[in-house]
Amino acid sequence: METSTALLTDHYELTMVDAALKAGTANRRSMFELFARRLSGARRYGVVAGTGRLLEAIRNFRFGDTELEYLRANRVVNDDTLDWLANFQFNGNIWGYAEGDVFFPGSPLITVEASFAEGVLLETLALSILNSDSAVATAASRMVHSAAGKPLAEMGSRRTSERTAVAAARAAYIAGFSATSNLEAGRSYGIPTMGTAAHSFTLLHDSEREAFEAQVAALGTDTTLLVDTYDIDEGVRTAIEVAGTGLGAVRIDSGDLPVVVARVRRLLDDLGATNTRITVTNDLDEYTVAALAASPVDSFGVGTSVVVGSGTPTMGMVYKLVARQDDAGEWVSVAKKSQDKASVGGRKSVRRSFNAKGVATAERIYLGDGPDGATEGADTDGREVLVPLILDGAEQPGHTGHDGIAAARERHRERVRELPAVAMSLTRGDPAIPTEYR
């Protein structure tokens, strides 16, 4: 699908391009930075997600006839600007945190170096994708830790907008979920999908037994039977009678889970179904998953809480001009001076430092005035965090498509393991490691 993404942006970006072109300032080389001033929800770390989707969206950030005609008819910009937009293609540089990495307050998740007009056009698109996807991934990562190695499936499509659902499934997978219920996420991103039946399937049939028989006939005995439509114990007995002790799993979607799960496990064992697994799906979040750590649950299905970021549906990231060239081609560091929204001007480089045991100790941000200035004062301790994403308009390999997702998932697994133990706390608090400006 090559739909243009060029109008997934705010009106004022176009009027700024319009005014800057007229004023002769549109081509001033500029540096924009996408960052979060704090970790929303007082999380201990954030998870970068959406980078691959952003690169794919930038490929399609082109103004075709449909887009230009809308802008013309509604007089959003003047004719000269329409001509400029018709030829627009992003030709700048973008560096950023690689997808799946962790981040902290002030981390420059994306740095865009381009003409002002090119850079400003990407503001809303970049923020939409990263704010939303990172909120999901950040919540999902906590759930993965709470599940202590047991698999989690993302099942929240119904509780978020239909296209966001697809992106949310992708973000949760990068953060360590094993599968999704969303078929479009399977098709678009190659994520494993799963699901068997809802209560309506049981209610469709004249009895729970007939429903189970129909499901086993179609999907085999390794399927998962939903046992809580009427009485859970009765449902479990019927399930084993129908499918035999080789039944794959039973799903429980209601009740006081720690109590119910323990009882169902005993019942399954008594019936000889010792290998039949138990999956639970009742309004789970990182806290209720953690509370089930000692229960004989084999897997979790998480819905609402993961797709809405478990109380933090957006990460509060902003996109700011931090430096630009003057007419003489000299870089000038710039920053808004408003008391409550100060930002730190200039281009940054970032190194994550570690102690002798390999545990992360700080996120060091080195300030500079220009594209090279940042690295001059940087020492060589720790790991360089930023990677090139687009250079002179050319997308760098490894960040998009199925390969990019697999790499991001593996990267997340490694990076989160390097964090100090406090990072895994579910309580609100300070970031797991400090951000230090050098």
Nearest 10 degrees: CA dihedral of 308, 309, 314, 316? Answer: 160
**How far is residue 191 from each of residues 136, 149, 401, measured CA to CA in Å?**
16, 19, 11
Q: Which of 82, 85, 114, 127 binds a copy of itself (CB under 8 A)?
A: 127
Q: How many residues bind a copy of itself (CB under 8 A)?
A: 106
Between 309 and 373, CB nearer to a copy of itself:
309
110 part of the interface to a copy of itself, by CB under 8 A: no
87 part of the interface to a copy of itself, by CB under 8 A: no
165 part of the interface to a copy of itself, by CB under 8 A: yes
According to CB under 8 A, which residues from 293 to 322 bind a copy of itself? 304, 307-308, 313-314, 316, 319-321
Q: How many CB atoms lie within 10 A of CB 348?
A: 29
According to CB under 8 A, which residues from 218 to 237 bind a copy of itself? 218-219, 228-231
For residue 416, give the amino acid letter.
Answer: V
C-alpha 173/C-alpha 192 separation (Å) is 9
- Taking the complex as a whole, the smallest distance from the CB of residue 125 to a copy of itself amounts, in Å, to 6
Between 78 and 375, CB nearer to a copy of itself:
78
- Taking the complex as a whole, the smallest distance from the CB of residue 290 to a copy of itself amounts, in Å, to 21
Residue 136: closest CA among 113, 152, 119, 120:
152
For residue 6, give the amino acid letter.
Answer: A
Q: Which of 64, 83, 86, 210 binds a copy of itself (CB under 8 A)?
A: 210
According to CB under 8 A, which residues from 184 to 203 bind a copy of itself? 184, 186-187, 193-201, 203
C-alpha 281/C-alpha 299 separation (Å) is 9
Buried b (16+ CB within 10 A) or exposed e, 254-280: eeebbebbeebbebbeebebeebbbbb
- Taking the complex as a whole, the smallest distance from the CB of residue 2 to a copy of itself amounts, in Å, to 11
x/- mask, a copy of itself, residues 27-46, rule CB under 8 A, reads -x-x-x--------------
C-alpha 320/C-alpha 343 separation (Å) is 8
x/- mask, a copy of itself, residues 241-280, rule CB under 8 A, reads ------------xxx-------------------------
Per the structure block, which two tokens stand in for 361?
A: 């100790």
288 part of the interface to a copy of itself, by CB under 8 A: no
Residue 405: closest CA among 99, 93, 1, 90:
99
Between 120 and 405, CB nearer to a copy of itself:
120
Per the structure block, which two tokens stand in for 21?
A: 């072109």
